[in-house]
A = this chain, B = another copy of it.
Amino acid sequence: MSDVGLYEAMSTLRAVRRLRTDPIPEDVLGRVLQAATWAPSGGNVQPWRVIVVQDAAKRKRLQELYVGPWKQYAKEHRAGIEHLAGEVRAKQERMMAAADHLAEHLHEAPAILVFCFNPGRMAITDTGLDRPSVVGGGSVYPAVQNALLACRAEGLGCTLTTLLCFAESEVKALLDIPDGWYTCAFVPIGYPVGSGHGTISRRPVAKMAFRDGWGDAFGE
């Protein structure tokens, strides 16, 4: 197996939502999971685990649980893009069509990665602030990102969704997730129906990075 270049992988990692049903070889899955384990975490505690859901009945149940939250999200999102026009709107609509497809066919992905975390094993430094806490995510989403990049390397389509958190208690029961552990990321993976990974659209560095204080664009 050749190792894809780091920058090449990062710059072509797309959300791929139309997946083939073909099974994923064990060694390929193993490399994706190993990539996740390599990620850093606070105190190197690795306060996460991942469940690889391949069982057909469990995948179907995850799809059933996903549809409701997706429809609600989609309704709100579509209302929010009504004022857009031209290519910007067309792009949003293509994305939404692919996401509709994913919601209907989630169970057909040969594997769904369910990332779990244990907040009791995290030092969450922003719980006392008067705003939503995100720091616990700093010990799990680097692992998720590594897994996504490894999927890119292996030619597997993938996308990160968190909508199933709305059905967390049902997901916990389905997958025997014990007390103290919760869900934070769901990644359906499979070989792509279309061309898969490729060009991505992102804001440039000058819009995302400042030098020494807010507002002074980096590199300008």
Contacts and interface: CB of A to CB of B under 8 A. Distances in A.
Contact of A125 (B127, B162, B215): B162
A200 to B, nearest CB: 7
Nearest to A111: B211
A138 B184 contact: yes
Given A136-B132, A141-B137, A205-B30, A51 B124 contact: no
A109 interface: no
Contacts of A195: none
Contact of A144 (B50, B123, B142): B142
Secondary structure of the A side of the interface? mixed
A153 to B, nearest CB: 5
B142 A208 contact: no
A39 B145 contact: yes
A144 B42 CA distance: 13
8 contacts: A3-B6, A10-B35, A10-B146, A50-B208, A119-B131, A124-B132, A125-B163, A125-B166
